[in-house]
Amino acid sequence: MNHLASDKALLRLADPAKPLPRKSVYRSHKGRARLWALYQKSIDDLAFPVRHKMVPTSFGQTFLSIAGHPDAPPLFILPGMSIAGPMMLDFFANLQKTHLLIAPDLIGQPGHSEDRPFPSRRGAYGRWGFEVLDQLGIDKAGMASASFGGSIALEMTALAPERIGKQALVVPAGLTPNLPYLKLYVGLAANWLTYRYWPFHDDQQISTAWLKHIARPLSRSLTPDNLDYFDAVIRYTEFWRHRPAGPFKPGDFEANVTPTFAIFAQQDFVFPHKPTLANAQQALPMAHTEILEQSAHMPSETDMAPMHQRISAYFEGKI
């Protein structure tokens, strides 16, 4: 086990048998138990120590996974849709060698933060992020984010750029001028719902093949652990009930925004490459931009291996 003894007690408070709240993200007790088991596995699989903390905010209790030396420069690690903090620590594992990584579970999404819908009003995610940092006594932090979390990082940057240092945005939400909602509903949501109610999940071979097929618009190379988690999210959660912050455009950010490292996927089904990149280059000062030419929305480990080295170099001032 990689977390401290005190953290074991904190995680034990997450009782899968307790009643589901009204408008829970989980569709059943079984589903919550399955997601929490996968959550614990993601902690156990980390190659470095992780500790946990629950902090109050006006939006709800927020559960944090924290790695790295307490005196190292802080990085706020913001997750993709339905992705929990420990998974983001694994994604940005290189950075824990040089930084204090603070990875929250998003309120109202799978994990151990408060299970209640997050308000949809503009600025809410940004204010929530700063409330978390305030609870930790952090005046200014860098940020590393992926997908949905990118929109939160951008909203925080728009609200208070003086509190944001360097940031890495990996296939970020929040920069696409017009999300292709019809294509997303037809190409993803309809298939996901069909899979959820499909009566043949006991046939593992068929189920896995179908799961890979419906995941293909998002990723071409999911690992077995990725597939297990993807299966649980589709079958047992109310996915997509929250929309990302934004879209942000030129004029939304002040001139003193720290130049950003941004990575975009050329085959991105969710955030189409051309309009997203064009808007990003106009809206934000860029320290460095990378284009993953063969990648879908969720880059593979092979795609990301050189990118993680460049992200580390960016935060170390070498880019």
CATH 3.40.50.1820-classified regions of the chain: 5-179+242-315
Q: What is the pLDDT of residue 13?
A: 57
Query: For the chain (length 319 residues), average pLDDT per consecutive 10?
Result: 48 74 95 96 95 96 96 97 97 97 98 96 97 98 98 98 97 94 87 85 78 90 92 93 93 93 96 96 95 94 94 93
Of the candidates 146, 167, 159, the residue with the CA atom closest to the CA atom of residue 270: 146
**Beta bridge pairs of residue 103:** 65
Q: What is the pLDDT of residue 90?
A: 97
**Digit-coded pLDDT (tens) for 182-233:** 888 888 989 999 999 886 777 777 788 889 999 999 998 889 999 999 999 9
Q: Lay out the sheet containing 286-292: strands in order across.
A: 51-55, 62-67, 100-104, 74-78, 141-146, 164-170, 260-265, 286-292
Q: What is the pLDDT of residue 3?
A: 41
Identify the CATH number of the domain defined by range 5-179+242-315: 3.40.50.1820
